[in-house]
Amino acid sequence: MITDINQLDLTKQYSYADYLTWEFEERLELIKGWIWKMSPAPLAKHQRILFKLSIQIGNYLEYKSCEAFTAPFDVRLKDTRSTQSNQPIISVVQPDIAVFCDKTKIDEKGCLGAPDWIIEILSPGNSKKEVKVKYKLYEENGVREYWIVSPEYLSVTVYDLINDAYVLRDVYFDGDTIPVGIFPSFSIDASRVFA
């Protein structure tokens, strides 16, 4: 068992099997085997936005077949470029919100496989990870819709997966109504999110 993050070699790649042996307080994500430290605790503004998004999404999904989870919730992703059938899991992320319509992906440890919709809320210090690193990871794994929320600019950048590549749908701002691509009858009221 690893009980202190300082026992890890940050220049080495790890797998989900390694991740399961770590017992320390620091939160981290594993992206393609590389360790990415997470903020100790999100800011109040981040948590307010998360809560307000969760309310709108939860109300819509009630009595429907899809299900939403908020962080911390382990989303385990395989290396989609590998041709091995029993390859090790090398990515474990904790999106702020993940929506699944295939409940067979969900187990007691979190989920194995790509969510249909992911929302990440930017925090100081994680912009590169959310905008570049996770963007590519989610695109490669087939996440159908990816939202990046900026509390600083009161904006939501929305990407749709089209022909295995993300296409920018639009950037929405406070006061806009944001259509949810995977649920044509549902939209998010940004003024309620950023109020």
Give me the pLDDT at residue 154, please: 96
Give me the pLDDT at residue 8, please: 87
CA end-to-end span of the chain: 44
* Position 128 pLDDT exceeds 90: no
Distance CA 68, CA 194 (A): 20
| 18-76 pLDDT tens trace | 998 888 877 888 888 888 877 666 788 999 999 999 999 999 999 999 999 999 899 99
| This prediction's pTM | 0.90
**79 vs 176, higher pLDDT:** 176
Tell me which CATH homologous superfamily contains domain 42-194: tt1808, chain A (3.90.1570.10)
Contacts of 119 (CB under 8 A, 6+ apart): 53, 95, 96, 97, 98, 146, 147, 149
Q: Quick one: which H or E segment has residue 67?
A: strand 67-70
Give me the pLDDT at residue 166, please: 97
Contacts of 78 (CB under 8 A, 6+ apart): 87, 89, 90, 91, 141
| 74-116 pLDDT tens trace | 999 986 655 556 677 889 999 999 999 999 999 999 999 999 9
Residues in the chain: 195
Contacts of 41 (CB under 8 A, 6+ apart): none
* Position 6 pLDDT exceeds 90: no
Which residue do the tokens 């989303």 mark? Answer: 75
Using pLDDT thresholds of 50, 70 and 90, give the confidence band for residue 182: very high
Q: How many CB atoms lie within 10 A of CB 85?
A: 5
CA 51 centroid distance within chain? 15
Of the candidates 177, 125, 170, 134, the one whose C-alpha atom is nearest the C-alpha of residue 152 is: 125
